[in-house]
Amino acid sequence: MASSGNKITHGAVANNAEWRQELEKVPGLPASYVLSKTLVFKPKTAKSQTATLIVAFALETTQTSSSVVAKVADAKDARLATSDAIEAALGVIPADVSALTVTESNAASVQVVLDLKITEEKNLIAIHPSKSSETVFMTSRDIQTYLEKTGVKLTIHDFSAGSIAESSKVEAKKVVTKAPKKESKIEGAALIGIDIDKELDFPGWYQQVLTKGDMLDYYDVSGCYILKPWSYSIWETIQKWFDSKIKAMGVENCYFPMFVSSKVLEREKDHIEGFAPEVAWVTKAGKNDLEDPIAIRPTSETVMYPYYAKWIRSHRDLPLRLNQWNSVVRWEFKHPQPFLRTREFLWQEGHTAHLTPDSANEEVLQILEYYAGVYEELLAVPVMRGRKTEKEKFAGGLFTTTVEGYIPTTGRGIQGATSHCLGQNFSKMFGITVEDPSAREGEKKEPVFVWQNSWGLSTRVIGVMTMIHGDNKGLVLPPRVAQYNVVIVPVGINVKSTEGERQQLYKAIEKIATTLEKAGVRVKVDNRDTYSPGWKFNNWELKGVPLRLEYGPGEAKGNFVTTARRDTGVKDKIPIPEIAEKVPALLETIQKDLYTKADKAFKSHIKKVTDWNEFVPALNDKNVVLIPHCLTEECEDEIKERSARKDDTDNTPEDARAPSMGAKSLCIPFDQPEGIVEGKTKCANCDRYADSWCLFGRKTNFTFLLDHNLNLDVTTDGRLIRYASQEATDRGRREKEIIF
Amino acid sequence: MASSGNKITHGAVANNAEWRQELEKVPGLPASYVLSKTLVFKPKTAKSQTATLIVAFALETTQTSSSVVAKVADAKDARLATSDAIEAALGVIPADVSALTVTESNAASVQVVLDLKITEEKNLIAIHPSKSSETVFMTSRDIQTYLEKTGVKLTIHDFSAGSIAESSKVEAKKVVTKAPKKESKIEGAALIGIDIDKELDFPGWYQQVLTKGDMLDYYDVSGCYILKPWSYSIWETIQKWFDSKIKAMGVENCYFPMFVSSKVLEREKDHIEGFAPEVAWVTKAGKNDLEDPIAIRPTSETVMYPYYAKWIRSHRDLPLRLNQWNSVVRWEFKHPQPFLRTREFLWQEGHTAHLTPDSANEEVLQILEYYAGVYEELLAVPVMRGRKTEKEKFAGGLFTTTVEGYIPTTGRGIQGATSHCLGQNFSKMFGITVEDPSAREGEKKEPVFVWQNSWGLSTRVIGVMTMIHGDNKGLVLPPRVAQYNVVIVPVGINVKSTEGERQQLYKAIEKIATTLEKAGVRVKVDNRDTYSPGWKFNNWELKGVPLRLEYGPGEAKGNFVTTARRDTGVKDKIPIPEIAEKVPALLETIQKDLYTKADKAFKSHIKKVTDWNEFVPALNDKNVVLIPHCLTEECEDEIKERSARKDDTDNTPEDARAPSMGAKSLCIPFDQPEGIVEGKTKCANCDRYADSWCLFGRKTNFTFLLDHNLNLDVTTDGRLIRYASQEATDRGRREKEIIF
């Protein structure tokens, strides 16, 4: 691949997955862009007639079913066109077709249905200039202008509005009046509201819900994000809870430096192999080159263990249990994603040394239980406890235990947190020994290597929580972790209200707040005069506050507060004298209901499968799949290979068209279903006997993150399209992330 | 300067301060070494006789008064020899003399008094090979061997033992039997006890008290240290206290990335100028060079303020008060020092934005008061509150407030923590504005720049506390911050005790511990069977636990506990029924007494001086000095220049011989003494009128930190001294720090 001028040349691609892969190899692409897709349909036509093909040009993420396209194009019963038909009409093979294939000369033989989202797209849009081995990036405006100039029949349609043909005209008008809408002068209006549907564009929704919900902001350095107080306070709650648990176990906190010398970093071969490509190196200080580059820790095993060797002198120093709350750096070159995969992230890492494997094992499981507790008790997120397969375990460790979650919207599993037993591998590498205390008096005391564990929980938990509970109104925070779990909004005050009435109301609200605070509720009173109650409702719903209390003249008269649950939207009343008791109880109900809902979604999507033929369809149905498995690495590789979805050819159903990684094992659940008979039950994939039920799923995580600073001059079909991204200039850079 | 072979060549030096400066410029020196000093004395002799000169060769830090040297050398009334006498006897000028100047040929005309500390020194010792522009590094053993071979009369003396001549012979014997002493097999003995006197070798003491007291360990990367739980728990206590204070003010915690793009870092010129030479740069990730190097934050003003500009849209968003608990990196090339100056350190940094200067100012002072609270209320360290001069204020800010401490042992001031008002400088640079809310209806609302503060408190507080309270038994921790503030040690159990008696005692102790824990005391019960009570006493004294309780058969019989205060050593009794009340009360007494003692030491060393002639002598007497000052930068520079102590020529009194930086201003105290009359009182240094009383002092901080991996072949006076540091090979590296 190569980048020549403004048109980027790469390997020919057959589908968007390959396209994406090719683009990722190209340095210096725009920081943010979206992929487009072009589908060509042929309406049912009498054989004597030449069919006018319908070119549907849409954002990759838009669902463009043939029936909707047909209705919009005012055609009967359209089907995906054959290669022959496409080549005959447009002169190119299907993989090369795009909106840019439409020219003045072929405009009469086609019509174009243009996705409204394309016309509204703020990012650059990647398009093939009639060649699948080439990409240009254009603004929505330029694409529309280009198409209009060809003279082709052009219909703009809002596919998200459903399948009613009539909507297309309405939506087309909408486009015309779009610009001023965004210029709304109402203060704060631009901030309010999620305008991306969680089900239809999960990555776009995730980005919006995090930024508009005030959880984080994008940062000047790629792959790094700012944790704003609204998310950081959740992390603080988690820290406090987990820290008290481990301290009760006898773990002590400490702080090791963030820098590691290369010599120490590379001491353990298997371990470092897993991290080496992502290690960030400091090579300069001020204007001076350092004699030896110094790494920033990707994790602290090799940072800490040389000192364990020094500090542990006798079995009486065991167990040694240290933990630190810190940040680590893993410089991933692709796919960063807020909370889930970032170049710097916050976590805790515990590192302990034990005399016996039993002592180490007991701790590994105890910690895993606390990790499950963070998810289940604090974040209302159900998780499955289990062990990782050999293939997926921590590099250099003995075995890894894990809590695994499930994202209903994507139907993918997600790793929650892991607790590793390192066995004696590191202690042998670093020489961490004690004299054998079981040696008899007078016998030579042989050195024995200690047993070690390491365990870590990161801010990714916040991302998982957001993905599971959030909805199209914004965040939904579980009461136990929300910075404020109740917001009180004064209502019913208007221009006719006297200052006295207003003050009386505020005073009553202050009293309610005080009562609740005494009952342990974290209350926010939103007294801002400049915003309407409706604006405030939306604002706090966006931020996910679990419970809203409304209080106005009506409530004052009836001596109650009106309650509105964020999770269900259900409104109710609580008499003022009962608030100290009933509000905390309601918060606990919300907490439980959130968990129950997520738990149902998870449980109903764990599919037990014993026949391979049911495996991929089950994955495609948004399930994680339990199969009897031989637990061999070879078989696991094969499952990944066999379950990858590689094509988006004409016959693939539209909704299964997104490219997918193959399935990988998530865990071997501790809680094993019955049904496996040793030496009898076969592995679902191979001829070996099954060892255990093993949970498989497709991976969550697929993201773009590139630079957005290109001005392009693109020659397509003899036309010069000058592109200068004003937005890019104005805003410096933006990031767009896409998750599969 | 240049390093050729194993002898290092540099500029000629007239004293140790210059020597040190020259060495610092040489790359690749040993990681740890100490400077030596050579003084040549001439005894009072009849004019007819040729005097045998006395060459005293000692560690730089050893006090070698002429009277002691004379007694040790069995000479009458020795005085420092004149240049002529030295040149006549040894053939070199005084600056070139060292132990290596003594050779077989001149051995008869001199005798050598060798500092016992030289013979015990584990580090390499820097010596001039009869040339002040050259340095070689030798082990104590090689120096002694060399001198013995010259045949010179050699006396080894322990100068720390006082001035009794008799001691020299005893000490000389000690040297002979020294080696086996260190090989003691008693478990843990090597760990126990500080063997460096705080008054005599403060840097050595500081290092020992921190490492042996379990506060920190030295680390593989220079300038970075490991905070062990014993010190980290102190930091956690401080965090908890300060965090609750600022949250009550409305400050929220957040987390910004540790990485900064160079573009953003360099936005504010004055500000970055102060940090640029110390910025660590990441230039590689895995095997790939980054397109642009990325800095690690030295502080977060420029990291955060672009986002303040984005987030602050209206005066209703003010004040914006964010804080983060994080680590920052300042890659200092010289003088790192545990807690006080480290390449990575932990701190909190608060960054706030206000509509008005009043709001900003009020906060700056409120935060400063909390910083004073950390020192005074938690760490029992008295501080002086004040404002920094223009010369010493934060680069890019409007004014800096500070709390300043005092280290009695060195007689130096030390900066405690600073709270800066940044004014509008950064808001203008980053465009942080709101519309003027005071504009009338209908008037054009002009943008106004916000007022900003930033404030930070780092782990240096732990270093300051250690230096002030610690003694020759080890750490002394104030009860409010000690991880355990009480340790209970069972006593009186011996081989004759039955298992029943032992269990009964342990049971009673458990009960005492439970009672105390309920009373809020953090108790450690030391039940380890393998250690004697005496060993435990020493161990916990080393670690600075404020109060020890002893409980044995005697105590059981009398129904009391024996108490032993760490700070005073005073022992007492408390009846068991009263412990829940009296132990916490005693801890509070200890806390107060520690503060009172430190406060007395500070107050008695603040010297008010109006006459310049008294200024330097007052500094030399270990004072910080209050003078009427004009507050001009020019005058401050002049004071620094005039008060620097540059020489250690023959006539300088021995105890003032250490090289010293000039005095700098510490603060303009808020609490101003009377006595300055505007337009009448003159500045103590110049002809201008005084503006305020200003506190000056010499700087704390002077340290070595270099690599220790040299094998040397040194030719001195025709002799080949082969030096291979076995210790360096065994231990990899060690660090030795010297503070002035």
Q: What is the mean pLDDT of residues A495-507?
A: 91
Q: What is the CA radius of gyration of chain B?
A: 29
Contact between chains at B229 and A253 (C-beta distance less than 8 A): yes
Find the mean pLDDT for residues B385-403. 95
B727, pLDDT greater than 80: no
Amino acid identity of residue B21, one-letter, is Q
Is the Cβ pair B232, A224 closer than 8 Å? no
Three-class SS state of B247 = helix
Q: Do B264 and A220 touch (CB under 8 A)?
A: yes
What is the tens place of the pLDDT at every residue in A305-321? 999 999 999 999 999 99
Locate A95 and state its tokens. 């993989």
Contact A41, A79 (CB under 8 A): yes
pLDDT at residue A725 above 60?
no
Beta strands in B81-133 (DSSP E): 110-115, 124-127
Whole-angstrom distance, CA of residue B548 vs CA of residue B664: 42
pLDDT tens digits, residue range A628-666? Answer: 999 999 999 999 999 886 544 444 443 343 446 789 999
Of A229, A294, A326, the CB nearest to B221: A294
Q: Is the pLDDT of residue A217 over 50?
A: yes
Please report the pLDDT score of residue A156 as a whole number. Answer: 87
B249 in A contact zone (CB under 8 Å): no
Question: Residues of A numbered 56-85 whose beta carbons fall under 8 angstroms of chain B's beta carbons: which are they?
Answer: none
Q: Tell which wins on pLDDT, B18 or A734.
A: B18
Do residue B286 and residue A294 have CB atoms under 8 angstroms apart? no
Q: CB distance from B284 to chain A under 8 Å? A: yes
- Give the angle B202-B208-B212 at the CA atoms, nearest 5°: 155
Query: For A673-720, what is each residue's pLDDT tens digit?
Result: 998 999 999 999 999 999 999 999 987 543 322 222 222 222 222 222
**Is A169 in CB contact (< 8 Å) with chain B?**
no
Taking the alpha carbons at both ends of chain B, their separation in whole angstroms is 25
Q: What is the tens place of the pLDDT at every residue in B188-223?
A: 333 468 888 898 888 889 999 999 999 999 998 989
Q: How many CB atoms lie within 10 A of CB B680?
A: 8
Whole-number pLDDT of residue B645? 63
| Chain A residue at shortest CA distance from B263 | A220
Q: Give the pLDDT band (50/70/90) at residue B655.
A: very low
Please write the tens of the pLDDT for every residue from B568-602. 999 999 999 999 999 999 999 999 999 999 999 99
pLDDT at B505: 95
What would the mean pLDDT of B143-164 be, rounded to a whole number?
Answer: 78
Q: What is the DSSP pairing of strand B124-127 with strand A664-669?
A: unpaired
Write out the two tokens for B678.
Answer: 């505007």
What pLDDT, on the 0 to 100 scale, is given for residue A714?
26
The mean pLDDT of A210-238, rounded to a whole number, is 95
Q: Which chain B residues are closer than 8 Å to A258 by Cβ? A: 327, 329, 344
What percentage of chain A exceeds 70 in pLDDT? 86
| A150: enclosing H helix or E strand | helix A140-150
Contact yes or no for A286 and B264 at CB 8 A:
no
Assigned token pair, B393: 């204020």
Contact A280, A292 (CB under 8 A): no
Chain B residues whose CB is inside 8 A of the A219 CB are 256-257
**Residue A661 class from Cβ within 10 Å (0-12 exposed, 13-18 middle, 19+ buried)?**
middle
Taking CA atoms, what residue in B is nearest to A530?
Answer: B316
Distance CA B692, CA B629 (A): 6
Amino acid in the structure at residue A120: E
Quick one: pLDDT at residue B358? Answer: 97
Q: Which residue of B has its CA nearest to A263?
A: B220
| A237-274: pLDDT as tens digits | 999 999 999 999 999 999 999 999 988 888 777 777 77
Q: What percent of chain B has pLDDT over 70?
A: 86
Residue A708 distance to chain B (closest CA, Å): 15
Using CB atoms within 10 Å of the CB of residue A291, give its burial: 0 to 12 exposed, 13 to 18 middle, 19+ buried. Answer: exposed
Q: Of residues A185 and A245, which shows the higher confidence score?
A: A245
Beta-carbon pairs below 8 A across chains A and B: 149
Using the predicted structure, report yes or no on whether residue B187 has a pLDDT greater than 50. no
Alpha helices per DSSP H over B621-707: 633-643
Is the overall model pTM greater than 0.90, yes or no? no
Residue B2 corresponds to which tokens in the numbers above?
Answer: 């240049």
**CA gap B58, B69 in Å, rounded:** 11
Q: Give the pLDDT score at B48.
A: 61
CA–CA dist B567, B475 (Å, integer): 9
Count other C-beta atoms under 10 Å from residue A338's C-beta: 27
Note the pLDDT of residue A503.
93
Check if the beta carbon of residue B81 is closer than 8 Å to that of residue B96.
no
| Contact A31/B at CB under 8 A | no
Among positive and negative, which fits the CA dihedral A100, A104, A107, A112? Answer: positive
The secondary element (H helix, E strand) that includes residue A300 is: none
Q: What would the pLDDT profile of B454-492 be if each residue is shown by its tens digit?
A: 999 999 999 999 999 999 999 999 999 999 999 999 999
| Confidence at A192, pLDDT banded by 50, 70, 90 | low
Has residue B707 got a pLDDT over 60?
Answer: no
Mean pLDDT of the B31-43 span: 85
Give the pLDDT confidence score for residue B163 in this predicted structure. Answer: 41
The letter for the amino acid at A348 is Q
Q: Give, as one character, the DSSP assignment of residue A34.
A: E
Question: Which of A96, A249, A182, A137 lies closest to A722 in space, CA to CA?
Answer: A137
CA quadruple A578, A582, A584, A586: dihedral sign: negative
Do residue A226 and residue B279 have CB atoms under 8 angstroms apart?
Answer: no
d(CA A465, CA A405): 10
CB-based contact, B258 to chain A, within 8 Å = yes
Confidence of residue A51 (pLDDT cuts 50, 70, 90): confident
